[in-house]
Amino acid sequence: MKIRKFEKEDILQVLELCREVRNHHREFLGGYFAEQDDEMEKVGFMQSLESDKIIALVAEEENEIQGYLLAERKFSPYLEKSNVVNVSNFGVKAGMRGNGIGRKLMDFLYFCKNENVDEIRLGVFNKNTGACRFYEKYGFEPFEQRMNIMVRKECFRKTKC
């Protein structure tokens, strides 16, 4: 298994894997996410080729992409320790999960510790207990609670519900 930077030639395989991961989350969360828009999904990966602020990694074995990670370096003037990397997209092929691919991608991302990065952030749904355990093994801790309520769409068209 080789972890390397994303290359333009990887885009079709990465989009296919992103779709698989998106569908997994759609099923897991009861259709919460919309179906994948390939053009929108492609943006971050393609921008990584031109920007040193975007980190796009792939896990490749025998010319097949088995996993990916997309993150962005950000400076936040509101924080004392202001150099943050935000992981925005991370996935491993369903049949390959549990084989250390996610671990290798995360280990590669940890190079940030040596590049003046103060914090690595990511989001994970509470119901995704397997992913939560995976991230906790790396020392990630719940830090911020986000809350939501599903409201009928009709309410937005009226002044009162």
Per-residue tens of pLDDT for the chain, all 161 residues: 999 999 999 999 999 999 999 999 888 888 788 899 999 989 989 999 999 889 999 999 999 999 999 999 888 888 787 888 899 999 999 999 889 999 999 888 877 556 778 888 899 988 888 899 999 988 899 888 888 787 865 554 555 54
Task: Assess contact for 6 and 49: CB atoms under 8 A.
Answer: yes
Task: Assess contact for 65 and 11: CB atoms under 8 A.
Answer: no
Distance CA 151, CA 149 (A): 6
What the block records as the tokens of 73 is: 């370096």
DSSP H or E run through 27? helix 11-28
What integer pLDDT is reported at residue 126 of this predicted model?
Answer: 86
pTM: 0.84
Give the CA-trace dihedral at 38, 23, 16, 110, to 10 degrees: 100
Question: Which among 127, 136, 156, 149 is positioned nearest to 28, based on CA atoms?
Answer: 127
What the block records as the tokens of 151 is: 């409201």
What integer pLDDT is reported at residue 100 of this predicted model?
Answer: 92
First to last CA, the chain: 54
What integer pLDDT is reported at residue 19 of this predicted model?
Answer: 94
Question: Within 10 Å of residue 147's Cβ, how many Cβ atoms?
Answer: 4
Distance CA 154, CA 149 (A): 15
